[in-house]
Amino acid sequence: MYNKLIVLFVLVMIACSGVNAQSYENLTVTKFEKGISGKRHQLVDVRTPKEYALGHLEAASLADWKDSTVFVTQIGVLDKSRPVYIYCRSGNRSSKAASWLIEHGFKIVYNLQDGIIGWEQSGRKIVKADDK
Domain residue ranges of the chain, discontinuous segments joined by +:
23-131
Q: What is the pLDDT of residue 4?
A: 52
The verdict on whether 16 is a catalytic residue reads no
Q: What is the pLDDT of residue 20?
A: 45
Q: Where are the beta strands (DSSP E) in 50-118?
A: 61-62, 84-87, 109-112
The architecture (CATH level 2) of 23-131 comes to 3-Layer(aba) Sandwich (3.40)
Tens digit of each residue's pLDDT (9 = 90 or more) over 70-94: 999 999 999 999 999 999 999 999 9
The active-site residue, picked from 36, 88, 97, 108, is: 88
**Which class for 124: exposed (0-12), middle (13-18), buried (19 or more C-beta within 10 A)?**
middle
